[in-house]
Structure 1
Amino acid sequence: MAPARPLSLVTGASAGIGASFARALAARGHDLALTARRRERLESLAVELHQQHGCTVTVLAADLADPAAPKALCEELAQRGLAVDWLINNAGYGVPGSFAASDWRTHADFLQVLLNAPVELAWRLLPGMHERGYGRIVNVASLAGHVPGTAGHTLYAPAKVFLIKFSQGLALESRERGVHVCALCPGFTYSEFHDVTGTRTLMNKLPGFMWQNAGEVVAEGIAAVERGDAVHVTGRVNRLIKGMFKLMPDRLAFRLSARQGRRYRQAD
């Protein structure tokens, strides 16, 4: 049984899909713990959500590139007597350009945020969910995890593949204990992602039907994890793309992905 007011921890909550998750969950009657690097944005969102929905919002500014951050977040929540019922592992970004063009610190920080942090947060919070017999974990992956890799953003798709497989295994381990785990796989989504990576101009060349807004992605994600779906690709167009690449011979799929990727890749 879900608690009367579940507590949701949302990472990367200062903008985009993370902020949309916070708004949607607050509207569902959740209290929130929000984390991201930009405290001012989190505090502004906290005021907005409290005024609109009367929820309690805990702001925990943190940089998940710091290996100590996941443990510190969970310890801070425990010290405040807060038990997390929903974990939204949303924090993420892309590193544009070729693999060799960035220094190792850049790649190490990326892997910490997109791989280590979500896995550690799940590991730390899952036992409490099992004990209470209720929990929801959404790992925000990507359509990129279902199609061949392309040049540029070299680690992004592999990281998302990991989250998909991790979510599937965790879902199987936890479904009999009242905990649902879902890898949410959006395609192109209107957010700050491409502004941060400096690829907005290139992305604007994509046709409008390829895009979803963050609210649509979040609504699908909440419905999917509640249903118990271990993996959910958002949007009909994205599901069509996934199916198309799945049916293609590997060599053809790789060539098509490479050709399309060159059109939207930022040069080093």
Structure 2
Amino acid sequence: MTAHPRPVALVTGASAGIGAAFARELAARGHDLVLTARRAARLQELAEELCAKHNVDVQIMVDDLTDPMAPRRLVDALEQRNLGIDVLINNAGYGVPGTFDSQPWVRHSDFLQVLVHAPTELAHRLLPGMIERRHGRIVNVASLAGHLPGSTGHTLYAASKAYMIRFSESLALESRARGIHVCAVCPGFTYSEFHDVTGARELVSKMPKWMWMQADQVAAQGLDAVERGDVVYVNGRINRMIKTFAKLLPDRLALRLSARHSSRYRVMEGE
């Protein structure tokens, strides 16, 4: 691929929330962008905003990461457009409400495809180009939940985020000497559409305001962290304290506390 005048970033789940915030922050830092999500109108609106405001090139690729072929399609389309990706933001994600048995397997399978398989495959397919150029950045948007005990409800969410944290750690160790930084960014409660999609908005609105962060804060901190070479970054002082406290507790007590408080932020019944 020919050299591009500006670094190019691919952001998944870019139509809203943390993904859109990453796109805005990257554009402000002088990156050209490739944005992907399912909602074409949202992507087009964001692309026009960023082009006008920051004079960067923004291309959109509408696709659905629940399709196992989507990562390959995206990378093939990048190659056809002669675009080498310097920054990969694996952000796409959502939650499946209810207990494990309350949802059909196809819904869990789609969830794992989006939150585990797709980001892993995109990293694998885009890594060779970064290695060739001796420079690259991969941000895997994980969660504070990946550092905490499992909860009742949303059964696979914390497990998928814990995977992304450990995957990021190993990939970072393998890639650092090649000029590639990998970071798992772990926000806690963040103002976005996430809780509307899962049906938990009414529940989480009762959480104290000091536990919440803005999506633009999460994105800016995440990009700063990967540039510094941080391998795992937990956004926010309160969230870092929660992570530390959870690790100090005996497993039995930590699980007991999780069971007691899960209903405050997890939807227990399936839709």
State the TM bucket, normalised to the shorter chain: over 0.9
What residue in structure 1 maps to residue 45 of structure 2? 44
Equivalent residue for 1:176?
A: 177
Identical aligned residues as a percent: 64
Q: Runs of 5+ in structure 1 lacking a partner?
A: none
CA shift, 1:254, in A, is: 1.1
Residue 266 of structure 1 deviates from its aligned partner by: 1.9
In 1: Cα distance, 2:161 partner to 2:33 partner: 25
Once residues 183 and 151 of structure 1 are traced to their aligned partners in structure 2, the CA distance between those partners, rounded to angstroms, is 24
The residue aligned with 2:67 is: 66
Letter in 1 for 2:104: D
Q: AA paired with 1:151?
A: T
User: What's 2:261 paired with?
Assistant: 260
Q: 1:44-78, CA deviations, whole angstroms, 9 ceiling, x for partnerless residues?
A: 00000000001101100000000000000000010
Q: CA deviation at 1:263?
A: 2.6
Match of 1:21 in 2: 22
> What is the CA deviation profile of residues 159-211 of structure 1, one whole-angstrom value per residue up to 9, with x for unaligned ones?
00000000000000000001000000000000000000111000001000000
Tell me, in whole angstroms, the C-alpha distance in 1 between the residues paired with 2:266 and 2:158: 14
Structure 1, residues 197-241: CA drift from partner, whole Å, max 9, x if none?
Answer: 111000001000000000110111001100111100000000000
RMSD of Structure 2 on Structure 1 (CA) = 1.0
Count of aligned residue pairs for this structure pair:
267
- CA distance in structure 1 between the aligned counterparts of 2:62 and 2:266, rounded to whole angstroms: 32
Q: After TM superposition, where is structure 1 displaced by more than 4 Å over at least 4 residues in a row?
A: none
Report the alpha carbon displacement of residue 253 of structure 1 after superposing the two structures with TM.
1.1
Structure-2 separation of matches of 1:86 and 1:4: 14
Distance in 1 of aligned mates of 2:93 and 2:74? 17
Alignment-mate amino acid for residue 36 of structure 2: T
Whole-angstrom distance in 1 between the partners of 2:44 and 2:4: 25
Write the mapping of 1:208-223 to structure 2, written as runs, cut at 5 A: 208-223=209-224
Cα shift at 1:260: 1.1
For 2:85 and 2:44, the matched residues in 1 are separated by 20
Residue number in structure 2 paired with 1:85 = 86
Name 2:186's counterpart in structure 1: 185
Distance in 2 (CA, whole Å) between partners of 1:3 and 1:76 is 16
Q: TM-score, normalised by structure 2?
A: 0.97
Partner-residue secondary structure (3-state), 1:124? helix
CA distance in 1, matches of 2:5, 2:147: 37
Deviation for aligned residue 1:43 = 0.4
1:197 aligns with 2:187: no
